[in-house]
Structure 1
Amino acid sequence: MTDLKSAAIAVRENAHAPYSNFQVGAALRTASGAVFAGCNVENVAYPQGTCAEAGAIAAMVAAGEREIAEVYVVAGSPMPVTPCGGCRQKLAEFGGGDVPVTMATVAGVEQRTTLGELLPGAFSQAFLDTDA
């Protein structure tokens, strides 16, 4: 996990957060062992920004990978920050409920959970089956 932690901490420094000054870095490992990282990118039109987790997922998909095996998220906050609701669903698109998620502060406080604990009852392809 140290490579995920290092990648998330390093990419956090590249965050574009001039409005909130709240920099977030995320790194994920795929089933193949590859690591992808992303940082939050704010926009003056607030809802148009991108979360760190979404950036890491976009990099993963752009590289042709599709299966998340582990996630690490770090922010400059007094306690670990969970992925937002939208990012929880994005992570669930590419990872099962047992995928470990570590949330951390830059001071080194860590909290571990799973995607399933973060998003019980995630919306999935199963809901789109039209056999009813």
Structure 2
Amino acid sequence: MTVTPDDADLRDLLAAARDAAQRAYVPYSSFRVGAAVLTADGTVVPGCNVENASYGLANCAERTALFAAVAGGHRDLVALAVTCLDGDASQPATLMPCGACRQVMVELLPAHAPVVIDGVGATTVDALLPEAFRLS
């Protein structure tokens, strides 16, 4: 079975991202982020941000979810949802994925894959990172 995400799937995916954000490990920033990726077989893989005292060793929620999906044997990823529980809805830039996460999205999701950003709306991988670096 291959999932083509509809509005209900994307709402469920966003709910999974919100749940994942509750598990974020953020002792330094207190900025909780959650993500969830939908696979072609309908599996939802959550991720949250995990900080570290050595800041460069922290990992964003989006990359945690995407890497967990791949580690779980999923290669056909079809959608991603992201939420920043502590972002400022009046400043949408505080809700958006960082550049590193956008590049990983380009590598692991189809260009047309929906990316739902809580408080901002739905977009696509290509819209988030136009003219992205690709080796192929």
TM-score bracket, shorter-length normalisation: 0.7 to 0.9
* Residue aligned with 1:125, SS: coil
The two structures have a TM-score, normalised by structure 2, of 0.84
Of 91, 98, 113, the residue aligned with 1:84 is 98
Give SS of 1:120's match: coil
Q: Cα deviation per residue 1:83-126 (whole Å; 9 max; x = unaligned)? A: 1111111111111221111111xxxx342111000011122232
Q: Does 1:31 align with 2:40?
A: yes
- Deviation string for 1:33-91 (max 9, x for gaps)? 21111000000111110000111012101110112211100012122411111111111
Q: Pick from 123, 127, 132: which aligns with 1:113?
A: 123
Question: For residue 111 of structure 1, what is the amino acid of its counterpart?
Answer: G
Aligned mates of 1:13, 1:102 — CA distance in 2: 18
Q: Which of 98, 106, 116 is residue 102 of structure 1 equivalent to? A: 116
**TM-score, structure 1 normalization:** 0.87
Query: Which 4+ stretches in 1 moved above 3 angstroms?
Result: none
- 1:4 is aligned to 13
Secondary structure of the 1:121 match is: coil
Q: Does structure 1 residue 41 correspond to structure 2 residue 50?
A: yes
Distance 2:42 2:131 in 1: 27
Q: CA deviation at 1:14?
A: 0.6
Structure having the higher Rg: 1
Looking at structure 1, the residues matched to 27 and 78 of structure 2 have their Cα atoms a distance apart, in angstroms, of 32
Structure 1 CA distance for aligned equivalents of residues 75 and 103 of structure 2: 15
CA distance in 1, matches of 2:88, 2:12: 23
- Percent of counterpart pairs with the same letter? 42
| Paired residue total | 122
